[in-house]
Amino acid sequence: MSEKEINMITIGVTGGVGAGKSEILRHLKEHYNSRILMSDNAAKDLERPGGPLYEPLVALLESEEGRKGMAEPLLLPDKEINKAEMARRIFANAAILSKINQLVHPAVNQYILDEIERERKEGKREFFVLESALLLENGYDKILDSMWYIYCDERVRAQRLQASRGYSEEKIRSIMNKQVSEAQFREVCDVVIDNSGELGGPDGALAQVDAAIERIRRQFSCAQ
């Protein structure tokens, strides 16, 4: 099959904090012809100087309303936005948080749609993999071919977050309580990867990924 004959399959990868999504994405990137796009990175790119979100964000956060939570200058010496200061201002003011979301979410969603379309037109990738904690909230299950839930036992997730990020039990519980429930993830996602144990081995998470890829290939081959 030539590159131009590739019918790109779109996959959404989601799951709770500490579930180990990064290792799954790394495997997909290294072993399959995949474009990996992480929505958080897309937002960061759009917020850099010259990006479409940079000037609107600066204007909002430097307004009288936005400066209420001010602790430090908003801009760093290189004119990049000071993300720690931006977070302080946003979470000190619910109205500013709402306005920021109204700016950022539509811009990121449009960027993602544009990237999917661009990759599809180029016809060089077999898979386009989008990672986001908000795939369900943003309705991506309606536009992606397959939705993957990376499951991990809460106890294991907590241990990972304590070890890798130094989070306290209180902070971990607070984060987990704000995220989509396991039942909601399972209801929407057609693939569930259990990443509670070892990555490798015949029953490990990476073997589950490989099996899921083969099922999706067969599914879309039959559909063509």
Residue 219 sits in the same domain as residue 117: no
Q: The domain that contains 150 carries what CATH number? A: 3.40.50.300
Number of domains making up the chain: 2
Q: Which of 72, 92, 123 finishes a domain?
A: 123
- What's the pLDDT score for residue 112? 95
Inter-residue contact 193 to 209 (CB < 8 Å): yes
Q: What is the pLDDT at residue 34?
A: 97
* Average pLDDT for the chain: 90
Which range of residues forms the domain containing residue 70?
40-123
pLDDT of residue 114: 95
Looking at 107, 123, 139, which one is the last position of a domain? 123
What pLDDT sits at residue 3? 43
Considering the domain architecture, whether residues 51 and 136 belong to the same structural domain is answered as no
CA separation (Å) from 192 to 148, 174, 183?
Answer: 6, 24, 12
Contacts for 145 with CB less than 8 Å, ≥ 6 apart: 9, 10, 11, 216, 220
Nearest alpha-carbon partner for 159 in 176, 178, 150, 172: 172
- 88 vs 71: CA distance, rounded Å: 8
Last residue of a domain, one of 54, 88, 123: 123
Q: Is 222 helix (H, G, I), strand (E, B) or coil?
A: helix
Pair 8, 44 in one domain: no
Note the pLDDT of residue 2: 41
Give 149-166 pLDDT, tens digit per residue.
999 999 999 998 988 888
Both 95 and 116 in one domain: the answer is: yes
Residues of the chain with pLDDT under 70: 1-6, 222-224
Q: Which of 1, 9, 2 minimizes the C-alpha distance to 214?
A: 9
Residues 103 and 209 in one domain: no
Q: Which residues contact 99 (CB under 8 A, 6 or more apart)?
A: 60
